[in-house]
Amino acid sequence: MKQAFIFPGQGCQKEGMGKDLYAHFPQAKDLFELANEKLGRRITDVMFHGSELELMETKNTQPAVYLYCTILALVQKDIVPAAVAGHSLGEFSALVVSGALSFEDGLNLVLNRALIAQKVCEKFDTAMGAVIGFPDEYIEKRLQEISHESGEPIYFANYNGPGQVVITGSKQGVKSACKIFKDEGAKRAVILPIGGSFHSPYMEEARIELGEIIAATPFKTPHIPIYQCVDGKPHTDVEEIQNNLILHITHPVRWTDMIRTMQKDGVEEYYEVGTDDTLQKITVRMCPNQKVSPICEIPTYKGLINQLN
């Protein structure tokens, strides 16, 4: 039976994340301390004891999510996944678990990604919005029309699942599009509490700067395929993986294609490696006859949970 680990992106951060892992798994403690050393500060203090506001600071959010998800996957000994995939930021955790990237290099790329993206985002008045209830093709068509009519740039950022997408662009453009989609009958069309225009042409400067760092980072041939955001396809070629990781900065996340391709390739069980069930909900709708679970259901963590209770 083919099993896949799926890793969520930014937004799944929670107060206290990783505290139990640190306390009960020696390998997790060692990796968290290695991260503290590499960062030159105790990111664990923010993760374990910091407030929600502290976790939302740019320098903390992405490293915290990366560390929690990656370590959560690395310390379990029950499942050797046949495939991995990550949503946006989650792709870095997937790369480490696949063997394509070292834990330390993954952390370095994530920290640079966060700081470079924030610097670029501060130059533009941009926003992101969620639209639910229309076919992707309809939204694509209408975004082009709305953008042409308003003169405001608007793009697709995430294809999260059938009828569930994220759009991005100028703040005025995204506001106008959300209002129009709501008026046209969308189940939901709202501005998201995210400053910036991730996975869009607005991030071109970040693509160039981070791209140079990615190109200079050593990658290895992964021992299992990684399904990448930029095209939704499985990859094992190092050059392709690096190029896709660079492109991913300005291109939409094709999560819908990633799940469909994994399903076509014979994946029968999906385990979300994160703090909540965001990806599970999407995957269940797309794969109703397959097992979709949080990673905490596997024996490694069930024993710990029973012990704590």
Give the residue numbers annotated as catalytic, written as ranges.
Answer: 88, 199
Q: For 235-243, which contacts have Cβ atoms below 8 Å and span 24 or more sequence positions? A: 238/100, 241/95, 241/100, 242/214, 242/215, 242/217
The candidate with the shortest Cα–Cα distance to 74, out of 307, 304, 295, 303, is: 295
From CA 30, how far away is CA 184, in angstroms rounded?
53
The candidate with the shortest Cα–Cα distance to 35, out of 23, 24, 22, 25, is: 22
The candidate with the shortest Cα–Cα distance to 155, out of 171, 137, 143, 138, is: 143
Put residue 76 in one of left, alpha, beta given phi > 0 → left and psi -120 to 50 → alpha: beta
Encoded tokens for 264: 């076509």
At 237, give phi and psi (nearest 5°).
-80, 125
Asked if 131 contacts 178 with a C-beta cutoff of 8 angstroms, the reply is yes
Measured torsion, CA atoms of residues 163, 168, 169, 175, in degrees rounded to the nearest 10:
70
The residues with which 165 forms a beta bridge, in sequence order, are 131, 159
From CA 143, how far away is CA 156, in angstroms rounded?
8
